[in-house]
Chain A
């Protein structure tokens, strides 16, 4: 009997924000902060990235594309990871908002992936001499983009929105199992893209003057994602309530 209260406490902590009203209060408290942080970090990051950081000794000013490209690439994977974690939470604990979060995050993830692909293409033209090469990282990013598009198409394809959410959550979980295999197989297949300069065992291989705007931009992207995903979640919840009212009104008449 001694374990029962702690277990209950854990469950209630997890489910406290499953209640739309409680979630609304939480998100109303977070939103002003996340908006301010996003504006500040993106503003400062863009200033440093465009005006107050050195050009690369080989790449010249084209290196400034990095400040958009790298954060977008990081976000494209981070968002998919968050979606997979939420989908798993929806399955295991039947959390009421988890599947909605997945739906709210998907278009953002697709947009980040598209930004990563487009900026990478613009960067590749002067550096590699081609808009597109079938390199491992580019290809797996493209596959990730198609996984996002598939999820978005699947969720919208059902007459019953709740069923679409559940089907989409299963798809995201299958995708997250397959993604490492896709990455590994494509790496094996062809590699031209430089390996990661930010994450390596001996610390970042980028000079501090470039690292500062890069980290500001990464932080700004995360805060921006948090802001927009909260807004989208709130509007999804409103849409769900409108649907419930409509069907109640339809039953009454």
Chain B
């Protein structure tokens, strides 16, 4: 089998093996969204207006949870050193590991999001835009997040530091994704925002693995 695919499957199996790793981000996603009505108030009009933003902020925060463990175990048991020595370029290995992270954390968010939208009274016309924005946006979160995890590898207070570094970089994703869902809710076309989100995904897929690999080489020196 292709070694890059092998890395992907192996990491996915590892992510899914520990069911707590899988359940915690979805549960967090649900709980964070549940807290918003409790804090803001149950008024349906207000909630349906705030729904796209609340769902996206919860998605942003829940992908943070599994990130600090993305390389930690491999770093501690030395398999990251082997990965760096392997004939596969480290950049491709990064891409494979990030893809596994996305399947384990992004896809559950994609599945749970319409349900939460329903509970918050999201406009009927915006579910398609919500799903498409998550489909295009959550891989960007994983890719930038993987860079953050690589650059903080071996740092003290890694988890909190990771959030401080990565969340400001998420700003454009949040803006275009929620604009797309909001536009669909108002009966406008979400496509301009979605296309911009897609072009960002294309750029990040091309660039982020190089940054993550450079950070990892620094950590392994």
A237 at the interface (CB under 8 A from B): no
Given contacts A167-B215, A177-B207, contact A186 B175 (CB under 8 A): yes
Determine whether the beta carbon of A157 is less than 8 Å from that of B151: no
| Residue-wise interface mask of B (153-164) relative to A, using a CB-CB cutoff of 8 A (1 in contact, 0 not) | 011111001001
CA of A245 to CA of B167, assembled, Å: 39
A interface with B by C-beta (< 8 Å): 143, 146-147, 149-150, 153-154, 157-159, 163-164, 166-167, 170-171, 173-175, 177-178, 181-182, 184-186, 188-189
Given contacts A143-B168, A167-B151, A182-B171, contact A154 B161 (CB under 8 A): yes
CA of A153 to CA of B219, assembled, Å: 17
Determine whether the beta carbon of A178 is less than 8 Å from that of B179: no
Among A147, A157, A174, point to the contact of B152 (Cβ < 8 A). A157
Determine whether the beta carbon of B168 is less than 8 Å from that of A185: no
Given contacts A157-B156, A170-B214, contact A181 B221 (CB under 8 A): no
CA of A188 to CA of B177, assembled, Å: 13
Determine whether the beta carbon of B152 is less than 8 Å from that of A143: no
Q: At the interface, is chain A mostly helix, strand, loop or mixed?
A: helix
CA of A158 to CA of B221, assembled, Å: 13
| Residue-wise interface mask of B (204-221) relative to A, using a CB-CB cutoff of 8 A (1 in contact, 0 not) | 000100010011001101
CA of A99 to CA of B151, assembled, Å: 15
B110 at the interface (CB under 8 A from A): no
Determine whether the beta carbon of B218 is less than 8 Å from that of A167: yes
Given contacts A157-B161, A158-B155, A182-B172, contact A163 B218 (CB under 8 A): yes
B46 at the interface (CB under 8 A from A): no
Interface size of B by Cβ–Cβ distance < 8 Å? 27
Given contacts A154-B155, A158-B155, A174-B147, contact A143 B214 (CB under 8 A): no
Q: A139's closest neighbor in chain B, by CB?
A: B171
Tell me how far the C-beta of A37 lies from the nearest C-beta in chain B, rounded to whole angstroms: 34
Given contacts A153-B161, A154-B161, A174-B211, contact A163 B219 (CB under 8 A): yes
Residues in chain A near residue B157, CB distance under 8 A? 157
B8 at the interface (CB under 8 A from A): no
Given contacts A150-B165, A150-B168, contact A157 B175 (CB under 8 A): no
Determine whether the beta carbon of B152 is less than 8 Å from that of A154: yes
CA of A173 to CA of B207, assembled, Å: 11
Residues in chain A near residue B218, CB distance under 8 A? 163, 166-167, 170
Residues in chain B near residue A163, CB distance under 8 A? 154, 218-219, 221
Q: List 7 contacting pairs A-B, 8 Å CB cutoff, sorted by A.
A: A153-B165, A154-B151, A163-B221, A167-B152, A181-B172, A182-B169, A189-B175
Tell me how far the C-beta of A30 lies from the nearest C-beta in chain B, rounded to whole angstroms: 31
CA of A249 to CA of B161, assembled, Å: 33
Given contacts A157-B155, A163-B218, contact A174 B169 (CB under 8 A): yes
- The 4 A-B pairs with the shortest beta carbon distances in the complex, nearest first, are A157-B155, A185-B172, A150-B165, A146-B168
CA of A186 to CA of B211, assembled, Å: 24
CA of A184 to CA of B171, assembled, Å: 11
Determine whether the beta carbon of B164 is less than 8 Å from that of A153: yes
